[in-house]
C-alpha cells in the first residue's frame, strides 16, 4: 500500500505542475476504496489466453497476470473477479459491477468515448480461423467478400467494426457472444471462417484436432493491428495515473515476462517505446 500511495502522490504532483500550480483535489472513489483496504474487482470475459477464470474463479490469462504484477507494484494484493459476456464489459464497468476491465480490450476510439485506458500493455493483430487447407482461400476481408463466405465473430469485438470498414456485407456476418461461441459455430459448419485475435484463433486451432488452421495476421491491413490497455471508469483518474506510473516500472521486466510466459505473450508483443493511448484513441 505504501508503494501505491507513493505512486499516487507523484501523480498528483505532476498533475499540479501541468495546471500551473498546486490545486486541492479529492481522490477518486476507487483510490479511496483501495486505500481503505477493499479488494479491487477485475472484470473480464472468457477469452483464452487473454483472460479467463480458473476452477475457483481465480484470474487467469496473460492480461490478468500482468495486471496483478502492476497492482502488486502499487502495493495492492487483494482482488476479486467478475466474469461477464464480452459485449457487457463496458456497461458493467459503468454500472460499478467491477473496477477495471482486464479482458484484453483493444484501445479503440469508440471505446475511449466510454471509458479510460491505461498505457498500452501490448500490440496485437487479428487473424482468420479457417478449416484445414483453407478451402475458400481466405486471408483478408476482401477474400471473404469475393468468396461469399459466412464470417463469424464476437458481438462487441473490434473485428465487427473492421469487417464493416472493409466492406463485408451484414448478410455475410454472424455475431455471437464470444470466443466459445465462435468455435462452436465453426465446428457446426454454420460459418466458413472466423475473425478474432491471433491468440484466440491459435487457441482454437490447438483445440480442434487438426480441423482448423489460422491465417497470417500480417496479411491483414496494418491498421488492424491494435494496442491493448486496461479499462477504467472515466472518474477514476487518480487511480489511472498511479497504475500507469507503476506499470512503467515493471513492463517488460523479469516479473512481467515471467507472469505472462505461460500464456504465449513474448517480447514481440511489448507495445514499444512510442506506443500511446492518446494516439490509439484518436486513430483506431
Indicate if the pLDDT at residue 260 is higher than 90: yes
Higher-pLDDT residue of 2, 207: 207
Q: Do the Cβ atoms of 94 and 114 come closer than 8 Å?
A: yes
What pLDDT was estimated at residue 27?
Answer: 82
Q: Which helix (H) or strand (E) holds 251?
A: none
Taking only the tens place, the pLDDT of each residue in 126-174 is 999 999 999 999 999 999 999 999 999 999 999 999 999 999 999 999 9
Per-residue pLDDT at 13: 31
**Beta 40-44 vs 79-83: how paired, if at all?**
parallel
CATH topology of domain 2-123+227-283: D-Maltodextrin-Binding Protein; domain 2 (3.40.190)
The per-residue pLDDT for 26 is 56
**H-type helices in the chain, by residue range?**
2-18, 29-35, 62-73, 89-94, 109-112, 141-147, 158-165, 179-187, 198-206, 237-250, 254-260, 277-283
CA pair distance 13, 21, nearest whole angstrom: 9
What pLDDT score does 24 carry?
36
Mean pLDDT across 254-274: 92
Start-end of CATH 3.40.190.10 domains in the chain: 2-123+227-283, 126-224
- For the whole model, what pTM was predicted? 0.78
Residue-wise pLDDT for 55-89, tens only, equals 999 999 999 999 999 999 999 999 999 999 999 99
In angstroms, the CA 35 to CA 64 distance is: 21
- Give the CATH architecture of domain 126-224: 3-Layer(aba) Sandwich (3.40)
pLDDT tens readout for residues 163-201: 999 999 999 999 999 999 999 999 999 999 999 999 899
- In this predicted structure, the answer to whether residue 6 has a pLDDT above a threshold of 60 is no
Amino acid at each position: 500500500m505504501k508503494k501505491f500511495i507513493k505512486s499516487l502522490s507523484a501523480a498528483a504532483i505532476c498533475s499540479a505542475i501541468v495546471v500551473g500550480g498546486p490545486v486541492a483535489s479529492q481522490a477518486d472513489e476507487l483510490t479511496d476504496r483501495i486505500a481503505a483496504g477493499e479488494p479491487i474487482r477485475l472484470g473480464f470475459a472468457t477469452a483464452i489466453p487473454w483472460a479467463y477464470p480458473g476452477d475457483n474463479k481465480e484470474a487467469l490469462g496473460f492480461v490478468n497476470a500482468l495486471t496483478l504484477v502492476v497492482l502488486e507494484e502499487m502495493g495492492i494484493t487483494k482482488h476479486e473477479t467478475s466474469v461477464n459476456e464480452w459485449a457487457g464489459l463496458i456497461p458493467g464497468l459503468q454500472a460499478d459491477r467491477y473496477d477495471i476491465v482486464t479482458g484484453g480490450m483493444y484501445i479503440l476510439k469508440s471505446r475511449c468515448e466510454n471509458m479510460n485506458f491505461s498505457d498500452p500493455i501490448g500490440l496485437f493483430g487479428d487473424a482468420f480461423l479457417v478449416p484445414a487447407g483453407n478451402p475458400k482461400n481466405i486471408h483478408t476481408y476482401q477474400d471473404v467478400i469475393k468468396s461469399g463466405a459466412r464470417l463469424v465473430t464476437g458481438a462487441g469485438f473490434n473485428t465487427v467494426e473492421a469487417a464493416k470498414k472493409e466492406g463485408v456485407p451484414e448478410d455475410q456476418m454472424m455475431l455471437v457472444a464470444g470466443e466459445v461461441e465462435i468455435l462452436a459455430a465453426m465446428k457446426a459448419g454454420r460459418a466458413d471462417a472466423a475473425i478474432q485475435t491471433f491468440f484466440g484463433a491459435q487457441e482454437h486451432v490447438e483445440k480442434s484436432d487438426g480441423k482448423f488452421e489460422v491465417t497470417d495476421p500480417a496479411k491483414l491491413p496494418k491498421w488492424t493491428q491494435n494496442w491493448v490497455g486496461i479499462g477504467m471508469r472515466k472518474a477514476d483518474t487518480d487511480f489511472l495515473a498511479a497504475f500507469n506510473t507503476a506499470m512503467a516500472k515493471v513492463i517488460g521486466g523479469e516479473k512481467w515476462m515471467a507472469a505472462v510466459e505461460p500464456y504465449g505473450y513474448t517480447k514481440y508483443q511489448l507495445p514499444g517505446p512510442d506506443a500511446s493511448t492518446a494516439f490509439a484513441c484518436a486513430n483506431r
